[in-house]
Amino acid sequence: MKTTSCPVCSSDVIIEEGLAEKDLVGCLNCGAELEIITWQPLQLNPLEEESDEENDG
């Protein structure tokens, strides 16, 4: 198990063993959905929420 900082709220995010790049994890503090970008060094990137504006019409 590893920990790193959430890029959204800076809280610790726990990364379970067995996860790989492009897997998703969640921040328990702010609820952000995060993608593992690199494992060495461990970096997370928040997923962009899809806007509903594309579905108008």
Give the alpha-carbon dihedral of 45, 11, 16, 36, to 10 degrees.
10
> In the chain, what are the domain boundaries?
2-48
Residue 33 CA to residue 23 CA, distance in Å, equals 10
pTM greater than 0.85 (yes/no): no
pLDDT at 48: 80
The CATH code for residues 2-48 is 2.20.28.160
Encode pLDDT of 11-39 as tens digits. 999 999 999 999 999 999 999 999 999 99
